[in-house]
Amino acid sequence: MKRLRLLFILLVLLGASFQGYSQLILGPDSLCIENELKLTTPVTSASSYYWGFCSAYLNNIPTGSSIGAGTGLDAPSSIAMGKDGSNYFVFAANTNAPRDLIRYEFGTNLSNAPVATNLGSFAGGIPVNCKGFELVNTGGNWYGFIAGGATAANSDLIRLDFGNSLSNTPTLVDIGNLGGLLLNPQDLFVFSEAGNWYAFTANGFTGNLIRLDFGASITNVPALVNLGNPGTLAFPTGFWPVQDGSNWHLFVVNRLSQTLSRLDFGTSLLNPAVETNLGGFAGAFNGPRDISIIRDCGNFYGYVTNENDNTMVMLTFAGNITSVPVASNLGNFAGFDGPRYLTRFIRDKDNVFSFTANNVSNSISRLEYNSCTISSIPSSTLQTPPVVQYTTPGTYNVYFVADEGLPTMKVDCKLITVLPKPFIEINNDTLICQRDTILLVANGPGLWSTMWDPMYHGISPFDTTSIRVYPYEDYRYHVHLEFNSVGTCGFDTSVLVKVSRVTADAGPDRFVADGAYTELGGPRQSTGQEYSYAWTPALYLNSPVSAFPVCTPLDVQAYYLQVTNDSSGCVAFDSVWVRTECTDISLPNAFNPASDIAINRNFGLMNSAVVKLEFFKIFNRWGQLIFETTDPMKKWDGTQNNIKLPPDNYVWIIDGYCNNGKRIKKQGTVLLVR
């Protein structure tokens, strides 16, 4: 299998990977012509972005074509594809001697007819029975790795050094079969993790997974580690890596058992692999050779070449890479003839391509998904793309990919419905009183659904064209209307509802000690000459028409406030609960028997909830008892034996019980004023 590994692996090196997003394209699902479509993505810090506004669907069957003989192919097997700058290259290696390497230059478009160049056999250095082929770009230089061999004696790994361009003729470095661990190696996957380079291959005869440890430089001679057969691998001929979230998976086709295995590594490819054999999908495989996987529109799709019957099988994972996929045989749609290894899938503008080598007919097959040309701009490589318009009503696919072609690739698509601009009827801007209700109506010919923002009570579940609202302040109500019963055409409009603001603020519910008082009203109260106030009931209030009346409660009481704007007639309401409880003795600290205010002429309990007194005694400064009672209602008038006592501070002590059973003992002084 041939895949391009760019320096995306630095993401793994730094211990970073994208979290899985349930939605990578943020924006509306529909619009009318002449409207702008604005899209964003939550994916940040990706190495590349691609937006296609009229892209192909990968859940369709691809089309295909065959690039025929006459280009130097001779039983090709290994194949790899890479993008260097804006140019595309495909390399195929022959299995027949002298095992030449053929380069196809497609220019800037993979649908072009390629220019083929035979790069030769590098003095016979291409491995016998070559299979795995990997292209890597790191440090600005390109490297190719090819693994092959039929026996332990001729199994080999080579490196092709292209320098800074895939258009260069590479030099060949024979790495060899270090430790003799390679035995008919099949596929190849090169990756970097934690600053070091590694590769995987698999021995066909044993099913053993071999890891190559290059160290910090891809050009080092690797050490080979035999990881053994992780489970039921039976002549594994092709594999493909997938990183989903932070977890790595390696999908392997088993040629001998004609099944598919999934190796789960967890968060690091250096962890031991756990194999799950997904089976043979009711005989869908017939001499499977290779697999390539791509994610599109929230789903993973895998493609397996059947070498024996010249067909291709598509595997649909339905969004979850760890689910058992559904297999569909796509038949022979691209001139397959002994198809072997697949390149990765790559997006060229809005068309998707992959290539496979046909070992029998000496050709390569091009697989392709095509796009449309209706959007005002075809694509963007910005994280946040420009706005786009569609010139013709219809349904179009927006395709998004981050880290294109890498195992960390994130892909999403969004269907956009484009309809003619609708005619909309809606209320004119209007004025209401605060807390009043108004009926807003938005309608138009062919209206399918209406969504108000914000939504309030009163919307009929069967008629969303009208909404009753009761704003507290000036508010612009937005409405999104969808037209057409089979699609959705979004159109936004609004109506401004101005509010004559009247605020009634009775204040927070409060607790008042028995015998104490409080002031009602809160800081948001509308105040001024144009406002009038009405508190009900008037019980325990000093003024029921004051904005902030004084309340001296004797029990639990709810008060209701009405505030009226006398100029507009707008009214607002509020309420407050005032609760009282006997928790302490309440006595004044002074009194004047000659006061004009009756309540100030005597000294006694202000509590209403003290129901029993053991004693209530008052003494003069020499300690003589001058007043005594056990009646909570009885008060001292400043006399003793009907003789007026002189102004002075007098000491009192009290011992009594509240109606809640609480006993209170207290003492203090009171000033007698004359």
Q: Indicate if the pLDDT at residue 22 is higher than 70.
A: no
Residue 536 lies in a domain: yes
Average pLDDT over residues 470-476: 83
Mean pLDDT, the chain, integer: 89
Give yes or no: residues 576 and 603 share one domain.
Answer: no
Q: Indicate if the pLDDT at residue 3 is higher than 80.
A: no
Top-confidence range, 68-82, 85-99, 403-417, 647-661: 85-99
Give yes or no: residues 444 and 528 share one domain.
Answer: no
Structural domains counted in the chain: 4
Percent of the chain with pLDDT over 90: 64
Q: How far apart are the first and last CA of the chain?
A: 111
Q: Indicate if the pLDDT at residue 87 is higher than 50.
A: yes
As given in the structure block, the two tokens for residue 238 are 């092709």
Give yes or no: residues 17 and 99 share one domain.
Answer: yes
Residues 133-162 have pLDDT tens digits of 999 999 999 999 999 999 989 999 999 999
Residue 267 makes CB contacts below 8 A (sequence gap 6+) with 246, 247, 248
Residue 20 makes CB contacts below 8 A (sequence gap 6+) with 244, 245
pLDDT band per the 50, 70, 90 thresholds, residue 629:
very high
Residues 485-522 have pLDDT tens digits of 655 576 788 999 988 888 899 999 998 888 788 999 99
Q: Indicate if the pLDDT at residue 627 is higher than 70.
A: yes
Give yes or no: residues 288 and 310 share one domain.
Answer: yes
Give yes or no: residues 610 and 494 share one domain.
Answer: no
**Domain final residue, candidates 560, 581, 602:** 581
Kindly write down the DSSP assignment for every residue of 384-417, as one continuous string: SPPPB-BSS-EEEEEEEEESTTSTT-EEEEEEEE
Q: What is the pLDDT of residue 461?
A: 43
Residue 303 lies in a domain: yes
User: What single-letter DSSP state applies at residue 60?
Assistant: S
Q: Which residue has the higher pLDDT, 349 or 674?
A: 674
Q: What is the pLDDT of residue 2?
A: 45
Give yes or no: residues 598 and 577 share one domain.
Answer: no
Q: CATH no. for residue 470?
A: 2.60.40.10
Q: CATH no. for residue 111?
A: 2.120.10.30
| Residue indicated by tokens 């056999």 | 121
Q: Which residue has the higher pLDDT, 477 or 394?
A: 477
Q: Indicate if the pLDDT at residue 349 is higher than 50.
A: yes
Residue 414 lies in a domain: no
CB neighbourhood size of 357 (10 A): 32
Q: Is 180 exposed, middle or buried (0-12, 13-18, 19+ CB in 10 A)?
A: exposed
Q: What is the pLDDT of residue 350?
A: 80
Cβ-contact 115, 130 below 8 angstroms? no
Give yes or no: residues 546 and 620 share one domain.
Answer: no
Give yes or no: residues 627 and 523 share one domain.
Answer: no
Cβ-contact 571, 562 below 8 angstroms? yes
- Calculate ∠ Cα 392-393-394, nearest 5°: 115
Q: Which residue has the higher pLDDT, 160 or 642?
A: 160
Task: Please state which of the ranges 241-245, 471-475, 637-641 shows the lowest mean pLDDT.
Answer: 471-475
**Domain final residue, candidates 500, 531, 561:** 500
Strand intervals (E) in 308-433: 311-316, 326-331, 339-342, 346-348, 351-358, 363-369, 379-380, 394-402, 410-419, 425-426, 430-433
Q: Indicate if the pLDDT at residue 457 is higher than 50.
A: no
Alpha helices in 100-173 (DSSP H): none
Give yes or no: residues 566 and 613 share one domain.
Answer: no
Q: By residue range, what is the domain housing residue 520?
A: 510-581
Residue 489 lies in a domain: yes
Q: Indicate if the pLDDT at residue 16 is higher than 50.
A: no
Cβ-contact 547, 535 below 8 angstroms? no
pLDDT band per the 50, 70, 90 thresholds, residue 297:
low
Q: Which of 371, 359, 353, 299 lies closest to 328, judged by CA? A: 299
Residues 41-76 have pLDDT tens digits of 999 999 999 999 988 777 778 899 999 756 789 999
Cα gap 290→341, rounded to integer Å: 5
Q: Indicate if the pLDDT at residue 352 is higher than 70.
A: yes
Cα gap 40→383, rounded to integer Å: 8
Residue 410 lies in a domain: no
Task: Please state which of the ranges 11-15, 72-76, 316-320, 631-635 shows the lowest mean pLDDT.
Answer: 11-15
Q: Which residue has the higher pLDDT, 455 or 574?
A: 574
CB neighbourhood size of 655 (10 A): 17
Average pLDDT over residues 170-194: 95
Average pLDDT over residues 625-647: 93
**Domain final residue, candidates 446, 470, 500:** 500
Torsional sign, CA 635, 636, 641, 642: negative
Give yes or no: residues 178 and 324 share one domain.
Answer: yes
Give yes or no: residues 177 and 246 share one domain.
Answer: yes
Q: Indicate if the pLDDT at residue 10 is higher than 50.
A: no
Give yes or no: residues 284 and 431 share one domain.
Answer: no
Q: Which of 91, 23, 3 lies closest to 407, judged by CA? A: 3
Q: What is the pLDDT of residue 298?
A: 65
Residue 46 lies in a domain: yes
Q: Indicate if the pLDDT at residue 634 is higher than 70.
A: yes
Q: CATH no. for residue 627?
A: 2.60.40
Residue 521 lies in a domain: yes
Question: What backbone torsions phi and psi does residue 539 show, to the nearest 5 degrees?
Answer: -55, 130
Residue 240 lies in a domain: yes
- Calculate ∠ Cα 634-640-645, nearest 5°: 110
